[in-house]
Structure formats: structure tokens, C-alpha cells
């Protein structure tokens, strides 16, 4: 409900109430008038009413409840899709190619069979030739930067000498990796670079790419594949592609690890096959938090929010958090104005209620606390002292600091990876990198004398856990029986 006393504290241009009041349910949320009231740009007519863009006061329990409800609503569709995914996985696992081909016809409306599901190398080459020259140059430049950054991620091997012998760590790549390249609402040549280059640096010998059949192969994807020397490419998408990569069929050899972004069905399928194969993460819709103060350009902040909200699933989340109420109102107005004149306005109209949201905190410390609680996929820090604020950040997939570091630069060109943990997983997970494609193996080489020194200690510890044959395996070698405390 609305309290007049509260109104006196609101900055000009921020309004209470609105059609989404029932969703948010209290007076911790303030609204921009419907976007229809804003003069449209020359490209789009304001023919429909966009949801108001809320400003949520997160300095109190009510505002925090609102944010939790917004974030939880992102997960609502997962339950409905789970049953479909389980059926597809079980069927492909049981019937192999027959099920893979049938689901491709059903979901993608394309007839595939053993003779055409894998793309011919000559076809990929011909499609790559159709990529515009400017795209080819930019793609090559981006690949250089991605490779240079990821070369520094190579995990180390080492050898150390102890009283018992030699201990070492060796690093080995997975033999075979599957890369999923989406092909739904948007096409992602950049995902080819971000997934394949780290795998190549890690030393993965075989890389199989799956991309949904959408008519002809996109020239940009074809160019990226050819530039990187990837020739094993399959016309398959969705949960059925993940099943084929994980379980193998007559046409598709199983892989050891599956990486790459995809829609909800792809994410749920990857989650389900984990354990049969490794996966990079259960990737959800794109998300960003922009931590900003009055020094930031509100129009730039608005564009950065919309950049992550335009992926097209409708489940994206883009928050700005600030302590400056007037700046919050300016960002709110800038977002509404940008949507009104956007050539992809219908994409934003499909977003969930509150997916675009301005959060008002009581202090910088509380803003940083909010970021760490959300653990966003992307974080921008656009404040007067961004490096100082970065010191307080513990949880974020990728961080971009300063006014000239929009997420889009990292998505495409800077060199950092854009395959990042979502849905709060940045609390415990990292983005894709070279280490994602390798295994660390420990090696112990114990000398006869070293085993003699260790034997009594191993015996005591093993027998304390009642593992008799653990103890016997060293006692018989050394001829030492357990007797009191080891020296």
C-alpha cells in the first residue's frame, strides 16, 4: 500500500503503485509510469504497455523479500521442462540414433539420418566463405585475445621430495569434449571461440560440436569452426543432442565432458547426465548486476542492463544497485526510454515481472553485501573508486570495472571467457577455462626406506578406522607389527 509520509522521501520522477503492485505486494517498491507514456523512437511504436520498472528499497526486510520473489520466479519453468528432458534422455540412451533422429524431426522439424547428421568439412568451408570480411577480421582478433588470456591459465605440474620418497602432480586433458553451440533465438559464433580455445590450450585431442539444425549452417559459426580447425560438427540440438554426446549412439561417439550454453532443456539435460560425463555448469539465463553511483552515466547503465536482458528467453535478470535515490530514478527513466525506442522491444516485453529492477541500498557496504548474496554471472562496478569496491566482492562470475568496461567487451573481445556460473553458482563455481578441460593426478613414489618410516603411522591410522587390510598391506611389506605409538 501507499503511505503519504513515504512519498516525501522519494526522489522526483519515482512513482508509487502501478499494475504490478499485486506481484510485489508492499510499499518498498516504486514505479516508473508505463513505457507507453514515453515518447517512442522512430523504429518502434508504443503499441503495448511494458511492465513498469521497479525501484526496490533493499535496506529493509520487505524489499529483500521482493528481490527473493523476483529471483525465484526465474526457476518456475524448470519443473515443467524436467519431465520432457527425462523422457528424451532415457529414450536416446535406450534407442540411440533412432530416438535422436526422431526427436530432431519432432522439435527442430528437420529430417536427419546417419548420412547427414555430421556436417561435411567441405560444406563447413563453403559456408565459412560466406562470412562477411569485417566479421572474419573481428573474429580472428577476438580469438587472439582469448587465446592469450587463457594461455596463462595452464595448471602447473610439480615434484617434491619428502622423507618417504617423491610426490608429484601431473596434469592430463580429457580425451574428448563436446561443445554445444546454441542456435535458437540468436546465433553464437562467439561461443565457439570461448569453448573451443580453452579446450585446445588444455590439449583436448577430440572436440565434437553440436549445433541445432536451422536451415543452413550460420556462416559466422562456420568461419569460427574452420578458423579453429574443428571438423567434427553435428546437426543436433536440445536435450537429444546432450543425450547423444553423453551416452553415444552409432553416429555420435560419447564424450568425456560437455560444455557450452543452451536453453532450459539443454541446461536440465546437462544436469541430468552429470556423472556419466562431466559438465561445465548448469547454465541458466543471463544475469547482470551493475553497482553504480552518481558518477555513472545513467544511459550507459541502462544499455548495459538491457544488453544482458535481450538474450530472448524471457528469464534474464538485470539489476542496478545504488545508494543514490536520484540516480536510481535517472536509471529507471533511462531504461524505460531505451526500451521504448529499441528495435527489439518485444524481447523486453516478454521478460518476467521485475526482471529489470533498480535496487536502492542504504550504504556502499550494503550494496556490496547484496552483490555477494546474489553472486551474479556478470558484475559491473561503475563507481568513483571501483578498485576499492572490488576488494569487497567475493562472489561474481566475471567483473567489469570502470565506465569503459561494459560486459559486451568481455562477451566478445577482451579475452576473458563468457561461459560463466549463473543462478547464484558464483558462490562456489568459476567460469570456463583451461582448467575445466584437465584432470590433476597425484603420483607417489615411496622408497623401501620411506615405507619403513611410514609403516607404523599408517598402521595406527588404518586400524583406528578398522581397516585391517589397509594396515596389513604395509605391515607385511616391512615386517613391522603394530606396537604402541610410532616413533
Task: Assess contact for 277 and 93: CB atoms under 8 A.
Answer: no
Give the range with max mean pLDDT: 46-50, 54-58, 146-150, 475-479: 146-150
Tens digits of per-residue pLDDT, 11-33? Answer: 433 334 343 443 444 445 555 44
Q: Do domains 4-74+285-415 and 78-283+434-439 have the same CATH topology?
A: yes
Residue 66's pLDDT band (cuts 50, 70, 90):
confident
Residue 295's pLDDT band (cuts 50, 70, 90):
very high
Tens digits of per-residue pLDDT, 434-444? Answer: 999 999 999 99
Tens digits of per-residue pLDDT, 454-487? Answer: 999 999 999 999 999 999 999 999 997 765 555 4
Task: Mention the CATH class of domain 4-74+285-415.
Answer: alpha beta
Per-domain residue ranges of the chain: 4-74+285-415, 78-283+434-439, 447-487
Note the pTM of the prediction, 2 decimals.
Answer: 0.88
Given a cut of 60, whether residue 278 has pLDDT beyond it is yes
Enumerate the active-site residues. Answer: 377-378
Percent of the chain with pLDDT over 70: 86
> What homologous superfamily does CATH list for 78-283+434-439?
Nitrogenase molybdenum iron protein domain (3.40.50.1980)
Section 315-325 average pLDDT: 95
Amino acid at each position: 500500500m501507499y503511505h503519504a509520509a513515504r512519498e516525501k522521501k522519494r526522489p522526483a520522477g519515482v512513482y508509487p503503485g502501478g499494475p504490478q503492485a499485486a506481484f510485489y505486494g508492499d510499499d518498498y517498491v516504486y514505479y516508473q509510469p508505463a513505457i507507453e507514456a514515453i515518447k517512442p523512437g522512430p523504429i518502434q511504436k508504443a503499441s503495448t504497455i511494458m511492465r513498469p520498472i521497479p525501484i526496490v528499497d533493499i535496506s529493509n526486510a520487505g524489499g529483500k523479500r521482493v528481490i527473493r520473489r523476483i529471483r525465484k520466479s526465474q526457476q518456475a519453468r524448470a519443473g515443467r521442462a524436467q519431465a520432457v528432458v527425462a523422457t528424451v534422455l532415457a529414450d536416446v540412451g535406450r534407442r540411440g540414433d533412432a530416438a535422436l533422429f526422431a526427436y530432431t524431426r519432432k522439435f527442430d522439424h528437420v529430417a536427419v539420418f546417419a548420412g547427414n547428421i555430421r556436417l561435411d568439412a567441405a560444406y563447413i568451408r563453403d559456408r565459412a566463405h560466406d562470412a562477411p570480411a569485417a566479421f572474419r577480421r573481428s573474429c580472428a582478433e577476438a580469438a587472439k585475445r582469448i587465446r592469450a588470456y587463457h594461455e596463462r591459465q595452464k595448471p602447473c605440474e610439480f615434484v617434491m621430495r619428502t622423507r618417504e620418497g617423491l610426490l608429484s602432480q601431473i596434469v592430463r586433458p580429457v580425451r574428448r569434449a563436446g561443445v554445444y553451440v546454441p542456435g535458437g533465438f540468436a546465433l553464437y559464433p562467439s561461443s565457439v571461440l570461448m569453448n573451443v580455445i580453452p579446450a585446445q590450450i588444455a590439449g583436448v585431442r577430440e572436440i565434437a560440436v553440436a549445433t541445432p539444425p536451422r536451415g543452413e549452417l550460420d556462416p559466422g559459426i562456420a568461419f569460427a569452426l574452420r578458423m579453429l580447425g574443428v571438423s567434427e560438427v553435428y546437426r543436433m540440438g536440445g536435450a537429444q543432442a546432450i543425450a547423444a554426446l553423453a551416452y553415444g549412439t552409432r553416429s555420435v561417439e560419447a564424450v568425456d565432458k560437455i560444455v557450452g550454453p543452451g536453453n532450459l532443456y539443454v541446461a536440465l539435460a546437462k544436469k541430468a547426465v552429470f556423472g556419466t560425463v562431466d559438465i561445465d555448469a548448469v547454465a541458466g539465463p543471463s544475469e547482470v548486476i551493475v553497482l553504480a553511483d552518481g558518477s555513472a552515466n545513467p544511459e550507459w547503465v541502462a544499455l548495459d542492463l538491457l544488453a544482458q536482458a535481450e538474450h530472448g528467453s524471457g528469464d534474464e535478470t538485470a539489476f542496478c544497485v545504488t545508494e543514490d535515490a536520484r540516480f536510481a530514478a535517472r536509471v529507471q527513466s533511462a531504461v524505460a526510454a531505451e526500451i521504448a525506442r529499441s528495435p527489439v522491444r518485444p524481447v523486453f516485453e516478454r521478460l518476467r515481472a521485475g526482471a529489470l529492477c533498480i535496487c536502492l541500498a542504504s550504504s556502499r557496504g550494503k550494496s556490496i553485501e547484496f552483490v555477494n548474496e546474489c553472486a551474479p554471472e556478470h558484475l559491473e562496478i561503475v563507481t568513483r573508486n571501483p578498485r576499492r569496491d572490488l576488494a569487497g566482492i567475493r562472489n561474481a562470475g566475471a567483473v567489469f570495472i570502470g565506465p569503459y568496461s561494459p560486459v559486451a567487451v568481455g562477451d566478445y573481445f577482451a579475452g576473458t571467457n563468457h561461459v560463466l556460473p549463473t543462478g547464484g553458482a558464483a558462490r562456489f563455481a568459476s567460469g570456463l577455462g583451461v582448467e575445466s578441460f584437465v584432470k590433476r593426478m597425484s603420483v607417489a613414489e615411496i622408497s623401501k626406506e620411506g615405507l619403513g618410516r611410514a609403516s607404523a603411522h599408517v598402521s595406527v591410522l588404518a586400524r583406528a578406522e578398522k581397516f585391517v587390510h589397509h594396515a596389513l598391506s604395509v605391515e607385511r611389506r616391512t615386517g613391522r607389527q603394530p606396537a604402541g605409538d610410532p616413533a
